[in-house]
Structure 1
Amino acid sequence: MIRAEDLRRERRMEINSPVEIIVQDAHLAGHCSNLSGNGMGVMLDEPLAEGTQVQVKIEGGMDRLPPFMADAVVIRCEAKDPGFEVGLSFSN
């Protein structure tokens, strides 16, 4: 049986990293669980509506790497104890 993850165009890397989600003037702290060339999965304490435009920021490692920053759009948001699992698609 073909699984949904087998149909992805980009391979996802499982990561464990803090992430900052910027929505208009609000800065939300979250946790990035996976990353690909097209998007990322994050856990947040509050929901975001599908279609919401956001900016994501992951700090670089060991002060040698610049932060990763990208514009993204929310493509899904599901309640997942203890917060919300949010799927983001990069838009740039």
Structure 2
Amino acid sequence: MSTTTVQAGATAPAAGPTGRPAQLLAEIRRQRGRWNATRTVRLYRRITDLPDTRLRAVARGDLRDLATWGHLALHDQPSNRYYTLRKDVRP
């Protein structure tokens, strides 16, 4: 499998994310707007069979990974962390 290093220690498949993160990215592209862990958990309740005890951690991790791979921009304000689709990245 070919990988491309995006940030120190982080790698993403050369063809882009796959599986659940790819589904999340597709939904973010479709709906746009601000995405945080709460909004992502609502999506994951519909599209995955993850137990509720894992949903929030998985949602945070997937958002963080998509940002690390360059698909999302992090907006980190006091008590308000959210992600948006990066404008300089093509689908």
Q: Provide TM-score, normalisation by structure 2.
A: 0.32
Which structure's residues are more often strand, by fraction? 1
Which structure's residues are more often helix, by fraction? 2
Name the structure, 1 or 2, with higher relative contact order (CA <8 Å, separation 6+): 2
